[in-house]
Amino acid sequence: MILEIAQITVKSGMEELFEAGVTQAVPLFRRAKGCVSMELTRSIEIPSRYRLLVGWETLENHTIDFRNSEDFQSWRGLVSHCFDGAPQVEHARQNLKGF
């Protein structure tokens, strides 16, 4: 599994609107080819900073299949107006699970 880690900073005062948009986007991710999980976390120390964690079967499921889909455009339409700068996105593969 590939884990997409998107660090997203939201404009001050738009946190609730952003969270509502992410909630609306859950079905978009659920039906995306190769998407196996999706969750949103919010920083305690920096409340305008979020991390969207999306599990994909393959890297291409995210970078090609999802990003080239209409659902990706819908996702961005729901949340991008809340962004304070471009999200920082990286992909990771689990190397060790301690417990």
What's the pLDDT tens digit per position in 41-87?
A: 999 999 999 999 999 999 999 999 999 999 999 999 999 999 999 99
What's the domain range around 45? Answer: 2-93
Domain assignment present for residue 99? The answer is: no
Domain assignment present for residue 98? The answer is: no
Q: How many domains does the chain have?
A: 1
pLDDT of residue 78: 98
- On whether the CB atoms of residues 61 and 32 are closer than 8 A, the answer is yes
pLDDT of residue 26: 98
**Percent of the chain with pLDDT strictly greater than 90:** 100
How many Cβ atoms are within 10 Å of 71's Cβ, its own excluded? 20
pTM over 0.85: yes
Characterize 43-52 residue by residue with b for buried, 16 or more Cβ atoms within 10 angstroms of its Cβ, and e for exposed: eeeeebebeb
CATH label of the domain that carries residue 61: 3.30.70.100
pLDDT-derived band at 10 (thresholds 50, 70, 90) equals very high
Domain assignment present for residue 29? The answer is: yes
